[in-house]
Structures are given as structure tokens and as C-alpha cells.
């Protein structure tokens, strides 16, 4: 009967404890480096937005771009970036997450007589 095989404590002159110490020192050194700030990605630093251009979306392409011929959410999600709507949800930094506040897009105004009308 052979004794169970034991793994060597050192592999090519490096033991586990030294490897852990080296990785801890490397992690501590890298955590002290200042983070990289890419140049002007958000806000006023990027300058005035320009109209036109190409809209690129990740995911599947819609079947077609006629919103009247489909109820597919893929089509309507993509079209919401392109076509105006009667109403839209308010967006921006002053809107709290999860708040769906309606604002006019094409409509000038609307009236609500009660909660159901």
C-alpha cells in the first residue's frame, strides 16, 4: 500500500505563504494609485450636444420600424429614441430613480377630470 501523495510546499522556489504576501502587497500598491479619469465624458465638460448622427443600440434589431404593425417591445423601445410621442416620461438628473413622471412631448396640455378619466 502506497502512502498518499503529498503536494510539495514550494513550486519552483515559491511557497504559498510568499505568494500570498506578494499578492497582498501588489493589491495594496494598486489600491493606492489614483483612479484614471477619462477626459470629458459627462456634463458640461463634453460641450454642447449636436443634433443628428447615428443611433447605435446594443441588442437585436427590430423586425421593422413601423410602430402600427407590431406590438413588439423591441420595436417600440427602439422607436422611442427616434419618433416623438404624445407624452413621455420625464428624464434627467433631478428625477429620482423609479419615478415615472409624465410630461408633454407632442401634446401641449391635457386635463384629468378624475382618477379614471
In a domain, 68, yes or no: no
In a domain, 93, yes or no: yes
In a domain, 103, yes or no: yes
CA atoms in the 13 A half-sphere facing the CB of 16: 3
Contact 62, 78 (CB under 8 A): yes
Q: How confident is the model over 1-20, as pLDDT tens digits?
A: 666 666 555 556 778 888 88
Q: H-helix or E-strand containing 18?
A: helix 16-32
The pTM of the full predicted model, rounded to 2 decimals, is: 0.37
Instruction: Provide the number of structural domains found in the chain.
Output: 1
Q: Give residues with Cβ within 8 angstroms of 88, minimum separation 6.
A: 80, 102, 103, 104, 105
Mean pLDDT score, 22-28: 89
Q: Give residues with Cβ within 8 angstroms of 40, minimum separation 6.
A: 46, 47
Structural domain harbouring 117: 84-117
In a domain, 10, yes or no: no
In a domain, 104, yes or no: yes
Amino acid at each position: 500500500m502506497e502512502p498518499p501523495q503529498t503536494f510539495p510546499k514550494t513550486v519552483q522556489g515559491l511557497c504559498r505563504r510568499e505568494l500570498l504576501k506578494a499578492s497582498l502587497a501588489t493589491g495594496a500598491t494598486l489600491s493606492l494609485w489614483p483612479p484614471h479619469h477619462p477626459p470629458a465624458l459627462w456634463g458640461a465638460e463634453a460641450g454642447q450636444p449636436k443634433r443628428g448622427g447615428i443611433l447605435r443600440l446594443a441588442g437585436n434589431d427590430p423586425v421593422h420600424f413601423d410602430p402600427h404593425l407590431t406590438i413588439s417591445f423591441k420595436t417600440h423601445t427602439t422607436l422611442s429614441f427616434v419618433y416623438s410621442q404624445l407624452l413621455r416620461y420625464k428624464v434627467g438628473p433631478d428625477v429620482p430613480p423609479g419615478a415615472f413622471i409624465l410630461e408633454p412631448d407632442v401634446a401641449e396640455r391635457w386635463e384629468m377630470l378624475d382618477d379614471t378619466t
